[in-house]
């Protein structure tokens, strides 16, 4: 059942599995999804860097919902709790993150610039989820995933995210 839910993510996860280990969170997102605009070209930087005068973008309702789901799952995966959760529960929370990302790919409609930035954030989250699936006892991926959420809060004006420093 779990593998059926993840089937639509397999091409993207395979691409990231090839690109991310060699280049950190760098990735070429040439995947298929519904965002209402042309596909992005391959990008070669680790995170999307906002200009110094960046005004945080307004997220659409789908982005607010998807990121709330991701924050909830990450909250339940606190590093000090991961050892107490057991592998099955860690994987269940990672599956929640994957489902939220799939929801975002299907429903989030952003302009090209914020969409490109969001893809970097989602790539880091997917990389962390993949690592949790590989070794549910290792809390190391949570640092990168939480950093991705902080980056999201710097770029997007989401009232539920911690404001940037």
Q: How far, in Å, CA of 58 to CA of 157, rounded?
A: 5
Q: Quick one: average pLDDT of 120-147?
A: 96
| 141 belongs to a structural domain | yes
Q: Is residue 39 part of a domain?
A: no
Residue 15 covered by a domain? no
Q: Which domain holds residue 164?
A: 54-165
Which band of pLDDT confidence, cut at 50, 70 and 90, is reported for residue 84? confident
Structural domains of the chain, count: 1
According to the model, what pLDDT value does residue 20 have? 40
Contact 27, 40 (CB under 8 A): no
Which pTM was predicted? Answer: 0.71
Residue 3 pLDDT > 50? no
Structure tokens at 117: 């930035």
In a domain, 23, yes or no: no
Per-residue b/e over 91-121, b at no fewer than 16 CB within 10 Å? bbbbbbbbbbbbbbbebbebeeebbebbbbb
Rounded to the nearest 10°, the torsion over CA 137, 139, 140, 146 is 150
**What does the pLDDT read at residue 48?**
64
Residue 65 belongs to some domain of the structure: yes
Mean pLDDT of 78-86: 80
Residue 44 lies in a domain: no
pLDDT value at residue 163: 63
- Residue 162's pLDDT band, with cuts at 50, 70 and 90, is confident
Burial of residue 73 (number of CB atoms within 10 Å: 0-12, 13-18, 19+)? buried
Mean per-residue pLDDT for 105-127? 96
């Amino acid at each position: 059942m779990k593998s059926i839910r993840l089937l639509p993510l397999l091409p993207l996860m395979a691409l990231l599995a090839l690109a991310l280990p060699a280049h950190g969170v760098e990735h070429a997102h040439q995947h298929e999804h519904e965002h209402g605009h042309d596909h992005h070209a391959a990008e070669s930087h680790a995170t999307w860097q906002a200009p110094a005068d960046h005004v945080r973008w307004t997220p659409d309702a789908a982005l607010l919902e998807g990121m709330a789901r991701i924050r909830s799952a990450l909250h339940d995966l606190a590093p000090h709790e991961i050892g107490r959760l057991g592998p099955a529960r860690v994987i269940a929370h990672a599956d929640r993150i994957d489902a939220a990302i799939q929801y975002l790919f299907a429903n989030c409609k952003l302009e090209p610039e914020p969409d490109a930035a969001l893809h970097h954030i989602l790539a880091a989250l997917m990389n962390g989820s993949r690592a949790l699936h590989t070794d549910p006892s290792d809390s190391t991926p949570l640092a990168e995933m939480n950093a991705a959420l902080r980056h999201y809060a710097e770029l997007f004006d989401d009232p539920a995210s911690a404001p940037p420093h």
